[in-house]
Amino acid sequence: MKRASLLLIVLLAACGGSGTPASLVPVTPDVAARAPRPHAKPRSIAFDSAASRKFTVTESNYHRAFSESTTCNPLDGEIAVVARTSSSPGSVTYTVTPQSAGTCTISISDVTGRAVKVSVKVTTAAITVH
């Protein structure tokens, strides 16, 4: 009995003495801060020619579709055409083709609303007139 009491005292001292094992103490970590987020490569595209460019968005442990929104087609004229060119679980690739001078943003989101933004800048030098 003395050995069991000594063991109980040692165990209580190891967990802070409250009598509650550390594994049962409620922990409220900021789960959203540690959750995987979409990542884009590259995060910005600057056009100095009419050639299209690609960017890829990935998210670890994500197996659903991404959605996109863009400011690249404002009412006063299209700055760039954004097209999804390939996708697989956790990854999507887009092709961006410059149309007219300006800046815009492409936002790619997962189903939980976590998003990454890619900035696009098109200069007049990127536009060729035929």
Q: How many residues does the chain have?
A: 130
DSSP-assigned letters across all residues of 97-127? EE-SSEEEEEEEE-TTS-EEEEEEEE-GGG-
Confirm if 66 and 55 have CB atoms less than 8 A apart: no
Query: Could you list the residue range(s) of the whole structural domain that residue 98 is in?
Result: 37-126
Q: Does the pTM exceed 0.75?
A: no
What is the tens place of the pLDDT at every residue in 36-83? 899 999 999 999 899 999 999 999 999 999 999 999 998 888 999 999
CATH number of residue 82's parent domain: 2.60.40.10
> What pLDDT does 75 receive?
84
| 112 part of a folded domain | yes
| 118 part of a folded domain | yes
| 28 part of a folded domain | no
| 21 part of a folded domain | no
Q: Residues 44-74, buried b or exposed e (16+ Cβ, 10 A)?
A: ebebeeeeebebbbbbeebeeebeeebbbee
| 101 part of a folded domain | yes
